[in-house]
Amino acid sequence: GAVVSQHPSWVICKSGTSVKIECRSLDFQATTMFWYRQFPKQSLMLMATSNEGSKATYEQGVEKDKFLINHASLTLSTLTVTSAHPEDSSFYICSASPQGSAGLLSSYEQYFGPGTRLTVT
Amino acid sequence: GQQVMQIPQYQHVQEGEDFTTYCNSSTTLSNIQWYKQRPGGHPVFLIQLVKSGEVKKQKRLTFQFGEAKKNSSLHITATQTTDVGTYFCAGRSNYQLIWGAGTKLIIKP
């Protein structure tokens, strides 16, 4: 149980185009989903937290107009990288939390998707 | 800004030896989570610690959360080849999840 999928698993796009990455919780409802970016040999960097039906909360330094996040249902969140540039090339990982929100002290778990490798040429 | 320092960056051990990674936060954390990332894979949630001084065990893994809720450790007893990977801590503070840089566990041939 608690499977999270991402699509596509890898994508190559040309500079200036937009790319949409989907994150789905397959066997549970996720009130909160997280989007991370990981550079080679570095830790995950939280980009934004999205709660179903509301606007995403972006971390400091993350451009909300460039990285559009939509969490339209309890099982789907999308990240759209708009006007992609080579510096946006990275590994993007989503995770989904089956209960609670980012602000609660109560125990919750994050289940990670397999990631999407984006290469912008 | 808020930081979580994780050491060491790498640790080479012989199979059967113990392994420990430490995380220290610049601020008090509400909780801390530990993840394992296998080479080429994505991070897998291991555990969350919430209470001051909490100690939890998962088979050969022992997780501790400091009394001041600013530090944590993961200890693996008698490492096996399946333990290879990078172990990350992530501390929650002021609604942010702050990641450590990870400790890579390498088993010497």
CA dist A75 and A98 (Å) reads 10
Name chain B contacts of A59, Cβ cutoff 8 Å.
96
Least confident of A23-27, A42-46, B47-51: A42-46
* Distance to chain A for B14, nearest Cα, Å: 23
Query: In this model, does residue A3 exceed pLDDT 90?
Result: no
Convert the pLDDT of each residue in B15-40 to its tens digit: 999 999 999 999 999 889 898 988 76
Name chain A contacts of B90, Cβ cutoff 8 Å.
44
Residue B101 contacts A where some CB pair is shorter than 8 Å: yes
Convert the pLDDT of each residue in A88-114 to its tens digit: 999 898 988 876 444 333 335 677 787
- Decide if A59 and B50 are in contact by the 8 Å CB cutoff: no
Query: In this model, does residue A35 exceed pLDDT 70?
Result: yes
Band the pLDDT of B45: cuts 50, 70, 90.
confident
* Distance to chain B for A72, nearest Cα, Å: 22
The structure tokens listed for B109 are 């041939």
**What is the helix (H) or strand (E) element at residue A78, kind and residue range?**
strand A76-81
| pLDDT recorded at residue B1 | 64
CA dist B38 and B20 (Å) reads 17
| pLDDT recorded at residue A105 | 31
φ, ψ of residue A88 in degrees (nearest 5): -85, -10
The whole-number average pLDDT for the span B61-90 is 96
Q: Smallest Cβ distance to B42: which of A34, A93, A109?
A: A93
Residue A98 contacts B where some CB pair is shorter than 8 Å: no
| pLDDT recorded at residue A89 | 94
CA dist B19 and B13 (Å) reads 7
Residue of B95, B97, B106 to mutate for A, most A C-beta atoms under 10 A: B97
Band the pLDDT of A7: cuts 50, 70, 90.
very high
Name the closest residue on chain A to residue B10, using Cα atoms.
A41
Q: How many CA atoms lie within 13 A of B52 on its CB side?
A: 4
